[in-house]
Structure 1
């Protein structure tokens, strides 16, 4: 096996499990300890992983790192638009839709503006503003109260209380990370609590997450992978991650970023 091939397999394992041990990799690939350490050095130099004593972990910052809304809005813009277009196809007119805070869900809102008769519930002023600007008389927008986080989410007891009495048809949930054991996560504990309330309030959960979210683990879990009904992601998600997600999620849909959006659906 070429070093490049081995390194890609190691990277996939880190993204799938969140961490790897040198001893386990030596046994798996039947190579020397030094060979594995050189592979880890090469991956770390690319920024793909972070070496720790005895192994490596996913290179995703700390579990409490929370970039601001503007910083996140510049990342994976093409993928976000493709994912949002695909996700918006799941919405029927005259239904109750929830959108969590986030740059991807805000993009979903842009593709929902022309759907007639929607009732929209959100804890994101950014998402609410998208609908307010349309000024459609056939749409109702409910914005929860609460404290603002760096990602511009309204969270806390007021937000949770506002959501708990509601019944949504579909919730579009943006996440900081997704991983097999940790599930869908966020670095903000209060945002996780508010998002859990939104998840409990909905009949159908749609997670919108680009490929970079796989292998990232935030401080607090919102929901396990098995709670997700539909995951909409982009074509750059690695095949092994897609297989893992398909084992836990009812439906995995792929949004193509070039030309006309196409859907590849894999049932879990």
Structure 2
């Protein structure tokens, strides 16, 4: 509720608390929350930024040290390849034949998709251009044995994700058995985060459409907070990661998600 009587110092303390809790704030939302002008909120953020408590970004602010960088798909695909392979193998083993599976954008989700080709009678919904290309190629080679493909449509991002109103509307009309969801960052307070606001909104639509959510994230994603949160840890049914995840993070996830799966090294048992 708006509170015109808050002193500037009190308001800034509340803004800072919100940034630390959520990882980011938006100017427009703070204007509505506090009932002050756009200029007043921007002055508050300037003060907090000068003190090093936050970093200003277009339309708002993020926690100091939060990530706004979004490398392209090709650049990300070469990072932590062995960890991604282990995570992908463990995640694919949890997919049931005959199910409708949504696969988000991202290189780890793509690695899982490449292991779905031998699972019979799958339907795969995706907003990932690389996943769509993978499945189209599989259809030419495997014929009817390949998973059926449904591409959401939308506008492409640097990470080869299709996002925006067209993607969101298509996803909201669907019901899927399982969502295989990648993420840019994971933290206890901010949950799952991404630097791209459009991708964040589309990911929220994917989460809402899924009966079960399976997150795939290697250990390097832990402790990274990007601009926008799209899911809380408590919304995750299964979280699949690799053995490099620190014990403290394992404890947090084990208490927050439905099931934590720590994948053995690729090829291990």
Normalised by the size of structure 1, how large is the TM-score?
0.74
User: For this pair of structures, how many residues does the alignment match?
Assistant: 211
Aligned to 1:201: 209
Aligned to 2:91: 87
* 8 Å contact kept, 1:96–1:170: yes
Distance 1:62 1:217 in 2: 5
Aligned positions of 1:1-268 closer than 5 A: 62-135=66-139, 136-138=143-145, 139-260=147-268, 262=269
Task: Give the superposition deviation at 1:259.
Answer: 3.8
Paired residue secondary structure (1:134): helix
* 8 Å contact kept, 1:18–1:179: no
Task: Give the superposition deviation at 1:76.
Answer: 0.3
Structure 1 segments unaligned to the other structure (5+ residues)? 1-16, 20-51, 55-59, 263-268
Q: Which runs of 4+ in 1 moved over 6 A?
A: none
Distance 1:168 1:137 in 2: 21
* 8 Å contact kept, 1:113–1:130: no
Distance 2:187 2:75 in 1: 23
Distance 1:190 1:233 in 2: 25
Aligned to 2:4: none
Seen in structure 2, the aligned counterparts of structure 1 residues 125 and 250 have a Cα distance that, compared at 3 Å, is: same
Seen in structure 2, the aligned counterparts of structure 1 residues 88 and 259 have a Cα distance that, compared at 3 Å, is: closer
Normalised by the size of structure 2, how large is the TM-score?
0.74
Please report the RMSD computed on the Cα atoms of aligned residues, expressed in angstroms: 2.3
* Residues 133-192 of structure 1: CA deviation (Å, up to 9, x unaligned): 111314310011111111010000000011001110000000000001100011100000
* Residues 203-254 of structure 1: CA deviation (Å, up to 9, x unaligned): 0100000000000001111100000000000000000010011110110001
Task: Give the superposition deviation at 1:63.
Answer: 2.8
Distance 2:114 2:70 in 1: 24
Aligned to 1:41: none
Distance 1:98 1:259 in 2: 25
Seen in structure 2, the aligned counterparts of structure 1 residues 53 and 125 have a Cα distance that, compared at 3 Å, is: closer
Distance 1:77 1:120 in 2: 23
* 8 Å contact kept, 2:22–2:190: no
Task: Give the superposition deviation at 1:61.
Answer: 6.2
Seen in structure 2, the aligned counterparts of structure 1 residues 243 and 130 have a Cα distance that, compared at 3 Å, is: same
Aligned to 1:57: none
Structure 2 segments unaligned to the other structure (5+ residues)? 1-20, 24-50, 54-63
